[in-house]
Structure 1
Amino acid sequence: MYDSVYSEFKASCRRSVEECLKGLDLADEVEEISLAEPPSREFGELSTSVCFDLAKRVGDNPLRLAEKILEHMEFPSELIKNAEVAGNGYINFRLNFEKASRLILAQVIRGGSSYGFVKTSEPRRIIVEHTSVNPVHPIHIGQARNPILGDAIARLLKRRGHMVKSHYYIDDMGRQSAILAYGYKLLGEPPIMGKPDHFLGRVYSVTSCLIEVESLKRRIRRLTELGEEYYEDVRRLRDELDDWVRAAAELRDKYPEIFDALSKAIIDRDDPESEVSRLIKEYDDGEGDARRLIRKVSGLCLEGFKATLRRLDICFDSWDWESDLVWSGMVKTLLEKLKSSRYVRWGDGTIELDVESIIEDLDLRDKLKLREAHHLPSLTLIRSDGTTLYTTRDIAYSLYKFEGADRVINVIGAEQSLAQLQLKAALYALGEHEKAENLIHFSFGLVEMPGRRMSSRRGRIITLDEVLDEALARAYEEVRRRDKISSDEEVREIAGRIGLASVKYALISVEPVRTVTFTWDRVLDFEKNSAPFINYAYTRALGILRKFRGEVPAEVEGEKLTHPLERKLLLQIAKFPEEFIEAADNLKPNAMANYANSLAESFHEYYEKVNVIGSREEALRVARAALVKSVAIVLGNSMEAIGIKLSERM
């Protein structure tokens, strides 16, 4: 049973070569018969370079071998029209469109919204941990790639037949959470004004900025008193202070009431830094008012996150508190296990894990893809004040996730690559080799908006909510300009879907390792490589089908579709199952987005150059309608697979 007409064609081409090699007693000389698309469709639909590898092994000429193989070749399927020798030893295969077209269209139309979503023969329990933004300020555009990529990966894997759960790791143990709680308490724990994550983000930025200003002033005074030998240090700190004072001025202009109240309160404190450190320690121990206070502000912030994520149709199966790992004793148990290994080092009150020794002793350099010259620093497990670090807790969290999963995918930015490598090394040191090998760090690059540098501590961020609002407003203007007939309510509904799709597509379509440069000209470009561009192709297809008058049958005379653009479209939709498998198995949501864009490009060209349903020949008219319906199905499926819903109207 084949996944698609295209996969059957591919298998038939491979089998025809295999049978020839057996007949020529050459089968043992070939490890694999690879097939690829030729550089141009004029050379056929598939090509093999097997004769080049074979020539090296048997000491013959590739061209002569190709001609010999072709002489003995028989086709095991009617899907192969013919084969021919090309270049100096390639064998090219042509698809029999007269036979395949009918089968492709029937398969797509009958499959409908399920077409292309091939189930794996080995379903696994998979946890995808993503987003996990610290609950101290709103999700901003620089962080938006995480939830959108994470959700796309989870959706692809579910469609592939895996049992997938999405987890959010609530990082409430660090200094940021303590700073927010400290500022909120100094304000008297006021009622939330507006969206909770936005309000608390203001409190966090102002508190962080004011504490930094006071801390720098103290350090400058102390070094100045020590003498002129610290002149350079003082100069550097003064430059840093100037930057923070500018940030403070900006924050005061934006949030005068919060700023003035916190400024007065912090200036009156003897040592805000020590008070924050005390909060961190108390929360780590689960003691005092810190437990109530930090949980309160974190929970309020999460309410805001959930509202933002609902706009994007992103949800989670589990919200996991970092503090629960510590208070439940999981982190303590982990530390005891690590202490019993030979890789722990003590010094100055700290406890460290010798990561480099783990890598060398267990020969992990290849497994972790590390160059010989790449040496990893030791991992501090416990600070001198007795508190644990983020990565220490993350090791415990990884073990917790594996209690319910065979594979764990951490969707975390590239800046966390070192911590993720240290985490893996720790799992190996614990003897958890299988878990280490099934822990995947899905790394991704930054999101940049030209002319804007973001810093949450300085309050210089563009929130994801602001970006979504702007996307909807811009989409509304564009849709209203194009559509003079629909009601305002209808236009807003269409614009809402297009706006959200535009932001998602912009963050998914770029290869994960690359930085995304977010510009509105690109995000809402109706002419190329964008969600509106793809949606326009989808809408055009549905518009044609509305004019068709009648139900489009699954069984049509596909052989009537002889135009080169029709055959190009047929081949593209036939390949969708393979494209989906590639995207899901290799965690490449961008590949799915780019496939949809390529299909949209082909359909737009077809729409412009061919009178799609204006033919007087009924069989051709019906076949073309079936092709258009198939394109609409595949466009919808490919975008839905990565969490993007297309609008039926634009």
Structure 2
Amino acid sequence: MIAQNPYELFRAECQTALAAALAKSLPDIKQPTIVLKKTPNIDYGQLATSLCFELAKQLKQKPTDLAKQLSDAVDKSGFDLIEKVEPAGAGYINFYVDFAKFSALIFTSIKELDKSYGFVKTDQPQKIIVEHTSVNPLHPIHIGQARNPTIGDTIARILQLRGHNVSRHYYIDDVGRQSSVVAYGYAKLGKPKPTEKSDHFVGKIYTVTCCIVEINRLKKLQAKAADNPEELAKANKELDEWVSISAELREKYPVLFDTLLKKISFDDDPEGEISRLNRGYEDGQPAAKELIREVSDLCLDGFRATMQRVGVTYDSWDWESDFVWTPQVSEVMTKLQSTPFIFNEKGVQQFNADKAANTLNLKAKLGLSPNNEVPPLTLVRADGTTLYTTRDIAYTIWKFRHAEKVINVIGMEQSLAQLQLKLALYALGHGKDADNLVHFAYNLVTLPGYKMSSRRGHYITFDEVLDEAVRRAYEEVTKRSPMLSEAEKHNIANFVGLGAVRYALIDVDPGKPVVFTWERVLNFETNSAPYVQYTHARACSIIRKAGREPENVDYGLLAEKLEKELILNLANFPDMFIEATEYLKPAMIADYANALADKFNTFYNAYPVLKADNPKLGDARLALTKAIQTVMRNTLNLVGVTAPEKM
């Protein structure tokens, strides 16, 4: 017999047995819902119910008396996995599993199902779009942005293994001033071929162009504000900052800086040129389209290479401009204008999000207090260009033509924009879509002692972090395993370093910031990918050294408390997977991997496997080790981390 979720079989047996006991002992009451929870300590059984506390109020009896009455009434003779049932504490009923039979079920299931063990399929599969990463094609992805693709890819993986039809989308934000700035600089240089990784190349052009254009703008503002002391002081302060930035950039990129400075100086109005390019791109003018798409593609090629290193892929690359050039954005605007939620302020069209929330009675539904006033959303600027969230409304409607559920992995700093987007969908009559739109919010990545600034070009790229992780991993592998060949060391260092970074960005609760330190990321001793990978390799080494498959295993010999706890951990894996998927808790997977590694290492240090007291006990422990290795591999695969056989 095999089971995708052994614990569920035990749970079902307990519920059935207790329901029969209720019908026999208390035939006159309405059959209550039986809720069983896992106990915190195996000494108190494996499942328990507090049912008697509710029944006691109804029947005016003591919970302890009811617990004893129902425990005695349970007939476990027709069930395979129930060893005993006992009343406990102030009125609980505890169910104890038959560990020998349960172990046989678990180990056989893990062996037979192998790479699919634990991945319980949903009975309600959906088409789901997971939109993630979506970094603007302006500069390399930096470590502060790298949490997004790591989370998004993990969510997509677990949803797919749950049986959903998942599509991974990257939304290319190529509309707006920033894209026009980098395209302007790129054109001034004569559209050069990259001399390095293309996103790094584009990033330097963007940073330097931004700086030169901003200084030009502020100098003009300074001249205009000569008669306004307050405005002049403000302009002077900003100009001083940008001049300081320009000195840094000139020192870092002297040839690029001087070339761009010379080329841009020929334009009387660089800001106006950028605005015209931006307007032209949104209007779909061929020259603007060709230029901005070309430089955006260069940057995206670099992104693809970075993401390929960490195993992140996309099924669809969705250009924001495509929604502007087709009638989709204008259709959204027309429909919104027909609602009572649009107002015009100084030539700027705005969506009254708060009015929509109140009129449509949405505040309670969205978890907002009645006094929480949602700020209005600006839809169109005075110059007629649309804003990001306006275009995002059209994009979201498009996504729901291809999916039943949409998950946007976007930083928590965008929570207001995501709320306004959802309210706009309700206002447009897309209530079902709004109900199925999920904003998966996450906190920032911080590096102690380092302040990132895109203005100054101060950021640590994801590529640099990955390179450094691999370098440090190589040093650690060389120290721990000097006998390995250079090729083996480099291979191990690669998957250890890359896995360490992915794991570190996943294992912190999304609501908390990730404090990125190498001491934590590459800790071979606890709570890191290298630690779990090393533990997996240790299990593989034991299996290799054994050189045999355990046969006719007597699972009753696994009698130590620690062994039983490990068996329950393996049985818990499917439940953990279901919870992590249904409630979108990727950090839970890393927590499980670390806890399993901790317990296995304690077991390894306490109880011999290959040199057990007798061969039968050795076979039982070998079967346990093999099952742990399989589940640990499956867990690491969920978060995109390689499970190595050697380290």
User: TM-score range with shorter-chain normalisation?
Assistant: over 0.9
- CA shift for structure 1 position 17: 2.7
**2:67 paired with 1:66:** yes
2:95 paired residue number: 93
Question: Residue 121 of structure 1 aligns to which amino acid in structure 2?
Answer: D
- Of residues 250-259 and 141-150 in structure 1, the stretch that sits farther from structure 2 once superposed is 250-259
Does the C-alpha gap of structure 1 residues 135 and 72 become closer, same or farther in structure 2, counting only changes over 3 Å?
same
Identify which of 548, 565, 568 aligns with 2:565. Answer: 568
1:212 paired residue number: 214
- CA shift for structure 1 position 234: 4.0
Identify which of 364, 367, 374 aligns with 2:365. Answer: 367
TM-superposition CA deviations, 1:592-633 (whole Å, max 9, x none) = 111111101000101111111212522221111111110000
TM-superposition CA deviations, 1:469-511 (whole Å, max 9, x none) = 0000000000111112111011100110111110000001111
1:21 paired residue number: 22
2:349 paired residue number: 351
Separation in structure 1 between the aligned mates of residue 23 and residue 214 of structure 2, nearest angstrom: 75
Identify which of 429, 435, 440 aligns with 2:427. Answer: 429
The answer as to whether partners of 1:167 and 1:316 remain within 8 angstroms in 2 is: yes
Separation in structure 2 between the aligned mates of residue 546 and residue 115 of structure 1, nearest angstrom: 22
Question: Residue 502 of structure 1 aligns to which amino acid in structure 2?
Answer: A
Mapping for residues 183-222 of structure 1, pairs under 5 Å: 183-222=185-224
Separation in structure 2 between the aligned mates of residue 401 and residue 643 of structure 1, nearest angstrom: 26
- Of residues 592-601 and 16-25 in structure 1, the stretch that sits farther from structure 2 once superposed is 16-25
**SS where residue 289 of structure 1 aligns?**
helix
The answer as to whether partners of 1:30 and 1:53 remain within 8 angstroms in 2 is: no
Does the C-alpha gap of structure 1 residues 2 and 624 become closer, same or farther in structure 2, counting only changes over 3 Å?
closer
The answer as to whether partners of 1:216 and 1:237 remain within 8 angstroms in 2 is: yes
Question: Residue 34 of structure 1 aligns to which amino acid in structure 2?
Answer: V
- CA shift for structure 1 position 414: 0.6
Identify which of 97, 100, 109 aligns with 1:107. Answer: 109
Identify which of 385, 388, 394 aligns with 1:387. Answer: 385
TM-superposition CA deviations, 1:539-596 (whole Å, max 9, x none) = 010000011122345x522111112111111110111111111111211111111111
- CA shift for structure 1 position 109: 1.1
**2:37 paired with 1:36:** yes
The answer as to whether partners of 1:18 and 1:27 remain within 8 angstroms in 2 is: no
The answer as to whether partners of 2:4 and 2:109 remain within 8 angstroms in 1 is: no
1:378 paired residue number: 376
Does the C-alpha gap of structure 1 residues 193 and 94 become closer, same or farther in structure 2, counting only changes over 3 Å?
same
Separation in structure 1 between the aligned mates of residue 38 and residue 419 of structure 2, nearest angstrom: 37
Question: Residue 202 of structure 2 aligns to which amino acid in structure 1?
Answer: L
Separation in structure 1 between the aligned mates of residue 250 and residue 565 of structure 2, nearest angstrom: 60
Identify which of 273, 279, 287 aligns with 1:281. Answer: 279
Identify which of 627, 631, 639 aligns with 2:628. Answer: 631
Mapping for residues 81-230 of structure 1, pairs under 5 Å: 81-226=83-228, 228=229, 230=230
**SS where residue 512 of structure 2 aligns?**
coil
2:239 paired residue number: 241
The total of aligned residue pairs comes to: 645
Separation in structure 2 between the aligned mates of residue 381 and residue 205 of structure 1, nearest angstrom: 28
Question: Residue 20 of structure 1 aligns to which amino acid in structure 2?
Answer: A
The answer as to whether partners of 1:29 and 1:57 remain within 8 angstroms in 2 is: no
- CA shift for structure 1 position 30: 6.9
Runs of 4+ in 1 over 4 A off after TM superposition: 26-31
- CA shift for structure 1 position 31: 5.2
Unaligned runs of 5+ in 1: none
**SS where residue 133 of structure 2 aligns?**
coil
**SS where residue 640 of structure 2 aligns?**
coil
Separation in structure 1 between the aligned mates of residue 390 and residue 522 of structure 2, nearest angstrom: 43
TM-score (norm 1): 0.96
1:446 paired residue number: 444
2:586 paired residue number: 589
Separation in structure 2 between the aligned mates of residue 17 and residue 251 of structure 1, nearest angstrom: 73
The answer as to whether partners of 1:129 and 1:169 remain within 8 angstroms in 2 is: yes
- CA shift for structure 1 position 302: 0.4
**SS where residue 575 of structure 1 aligns?**
helix
1:559 paired residue number: 556
- CA shift for structure 1 position 29: 6.0
Separation in structure 1 between the aligned mates of residue 359 and residue 97 of structure 2, nearest angstrom: 54
Does the C-alpha gap of structure 1 residues 286 and 23 become closer, same or farther in structure 2, counting only changes over 3 Å?
same
- CA shift for structure 1 position 267: 4.1
The answer as to whether partners of 2:4 and 2:117 remain within 8 angstroms in 1 is: no
Does the C-alpha gap of structure 1 residues 431 and 2 become closer, same or farther in structure 2, counting only changes over 3 Å?
farther
**SS where residue 118 of structure 1 aligns?**
coil
The answer as to whether partners of 2:23 and 2:31 remain within 8 angstroms in 1 is: no
**SS where residue 363 of structure 1 aligns?**
coil
Question: Residue 302 of structure 2 aligns to which amino acid in structure 1?
Answer: G
TM-superposition CA deviations, 1:195-254 (whole Å, max 9, x none) = 11001101111111222233333334433322x4x2xx5444434333333222221121
C-alpha RMSD of the superposition: 1.8
**SS where residue 366 of structure 1 aligns?**
coil
- CA shift for structure 1 position 24: 3.6
- Of residues 285-294 and 151-160 in structure 1, the stretch that sits farther from structure 2 once superposed is 285-294
1:607 paired residue number: 604
Identity among equivalent positions (%) equals 48
Question: Residue 582 of structure 2 aligns to which amino acid in structure 1?
Answer: D
Does the C-alpha gap of structure 1 residues 290 and 31 become closer, same or farther in structure 2, counting only changes over 3 Å?
farther
Separation in structure 1 between the aligned mates of residue 25 and residue 240 of structure 2, nearest angstrom: 80
The answer as to whether partners of 1:538 and 1:636 remain within 8 angstroms in 2 is: yes
The answer as to whether partners of 2:448 and 2:515 remain within 8 angstroms in 1 is: yes
Q: Higher relative contact order at CA 8 Å, sep ≥6: structure 1 or structure 2?
A: 1
- CA shift for structure 1 position 409: 0.7
TM-superposition CA deviations, 1:270-312 (whole Å, max 9, x none) = 2322222221111110115221111110011000000101101
1:252 paired residue number: 250
**2:580 paired with 1:578:** no
**2:605 paired with 1:641:** no
2:308 paired residue number: 310
Unaligned runs of 5+ in 2: none
Separation in structure 1 between the aligned mates of residue 508 and residue 582 of structure 2, nearest angstrom: 18
Separation in structure 2 between the aligned mates of residue 315 and residue 328 of structure 1, nearest angstrom: 27
**SS where residue 224 of structure 1 aligns?**
coil
Separation in structure 1 between the aligned mates of residue 264 and residue 33 of structure 2, nearest angstrom: 70
**SS where residue 265 of structure 1 aligns?**
helix
TM-score (norm 2): 0.96
